[in-house]
Amino acid sequence: PEPTSISSLTDDLLREIFLRLPDLPTLVRAAITCRPFLCLVRSSRAFRRRFRELHASPILALFLTPYMRAVIPSASGSPDPDTTAAFADLLGDDDATEWGTDSQIPYSDGYVAFVNRSTDQTASYSPLNIGAPAQAQALDIYPKPPREGVDAWLEFYTLPPDQEGQRPSRVVCVRHDSSWACARVAVFSSHAMKCQIFPESRGLLLERDRCTIRKLVHGFVCWLQSENCILALNTVTFQFSRMYLPPPLRGPYTYLSFELGQTKDGKLCIVHLQEFTLSVWLWTPDDDGVERFMLHKMFQLHTIVKEITKRSVLDNVDAGEHMNVTDGFVYLSVVHGRGMQSSQWFLSFCLETAEVKLLFEKTCRIRCLVDPYIMAWPPSLMHDKVSPCLCMKN
């Protein structure tokens, strides 16, 4: 038979080959090899949806504070030289210790959010934009958050485009007073270059409640109230609502042991870790059709922690001091020791398969807070309307 060249393969067969690539970075490299390959990925929503189902979003690095180091996780195998170069010398100047990741919104759409502890300045960093044109710089530093008045606050959130590119990226501004007696939302669309201002909302919180922690998750901007509920802004309707916490999670300081996030299919969830038992609560309709947080799964971590640390869980071991829940994965730390030297293990835990991976191990005097950097799907691979000349075979 005559030899077959790659240019003679059909689009469907090429997509089947691409589905067998190991991860998203490999797909990106393949897609930018030539214009037909790029067109192949951009023109098929079904292919992109299937690829996301088969391949979890890759974790490229772990950001450690207060040292502001970026560590390539060992679970990813041999460090990729391009990835290592992208994260090298992150904020590596004398003032680096003043910066830390924004623990409430550590990253969004491929950008890592940092906060300066001294000046309240914020910065967004996209390591994969290094070498890009001037309009897409890797590091942007912003001034101190604005205060509109004595008792008026402005909060800004960036909503990335949806995975199918049907909704463009947007910037949401929330204006409220310190007691949250009233709030107003404005949304700026990068696609239409227009700003939409919504009517003022009142009576959002009970008089004794105060918002303590904010979190941007799939479909919602959430503010955790003092003891028993979450104030949520729906990012489709831009209406406020209250989400009441399940009874086991109510009470003072319980928020220190749970984390808001989303499952692999984008559902809002709460992950709670107490005494090495990990519980997952989903925001879903109950038997009466009323949406609330319902217990979904429970996992026992005693055996897992013992296998990884080689120590008994009773041997001065703490788990879950700092968690991050993203796309169905829980990223957490396990700490052993309370003296001058502490050993820390940073793990990923899949809520679907219960698979655990050791990402990084460290011995230090100061316990490190860690935020994962997870690669976002590149917008350049999501546009369905592709110029015919782009798809011409070379």
185 part of a folded domain: yes
**Which residues constitute the domain of residue 178?**
146-244
Highest mean pLDDT among 25-29, 213-217, 223-227, 366-370: 25-29
Last residue of a domain, one of 244, 271, 296: 244
341 part of a folded domain: no
The H helix count followed by the E strand count for the chain is 6, 26
User: Could you tell me the pLDDT band of residue 132, with boundaries at 50, 70 and 90?
Assistant: very low
48 part of a folded domain: yes
Instruction: Read off the pLDDT of residues 322-376 as tens digits, 9 standing for 90 and up.
Output: 778 988 999 988 887 666 677 888 888 999 999 988 888 877 666 667 778 888 7
In what side-by-side order are the strands of the sheet with 211-217? 211-217, 220-225, 229-234, 240-244
pLDDT confidence of residue 351: 92
Last residue of a domain, one of 18, 39, 57: 57
Q: How many domains does the chain have?
A: 2
Last residue of a domain, one of 190, 210, 244: 244
User: Could you tell me the pLDDT band of residue 14, with boundaries at 50, 70 and 90?
Assistant: very high
pLDDT confidence of residue 293: 95
Buried b / exposed e along 286-313 (16+ C-beta atoms within 10 A) = eeeeeeebeebeebebeebbbebbeeeb
Instruction: Read off the pLDDT of residues 28-53 as tens digits, 9 standing for 90 and up.
Output: 889 988 888 999 898 888 999 899 88
Highest mean pLDDT among 213-217, 223-227, 237-241, 333-337: 237-241
Do the strands 111-116 and 211-217 form a parallel or antiparallel pair, or are they unpaired? unpaired
362 part of a folded domain: no
238 part of a folded domain: yes
> Between vectors from CA 353 to CA 374 and to CA 104, what angle results, nearest 5°?
35
pLDDT confidence of residue 181: 80
Residue 187, classified by CB atoms within 10 Å of its CB into exposed (0-12), middle (13-18) or buried (19+), is middle
Q: 144 or 218, which is more confident?
A: 218
160 part of a folded domain: yes
372 part of a folded domain: no
If you ran DSSP here, which 8-state letter would residue 68 be given?
T
The answer to whether the CB of 285 falls within 8 A of the CB of 268 is no
pLDDT confidence of residue 227: 72
pLDDT confidence of residue 135: 42
pLDDT confidence of residue 272: 92
CA distances from 319 to 84, 171, 273, 322 (A): 28, 35, 8, 8
The residue with tokens 């003032």 is 95
Q: How many CB atoms lie within 10 A of CB 314?
A: 8
Instruction: Give the residue-averaged pLDDT of 182-210.
Output: 81
104 part of a folded domain: no
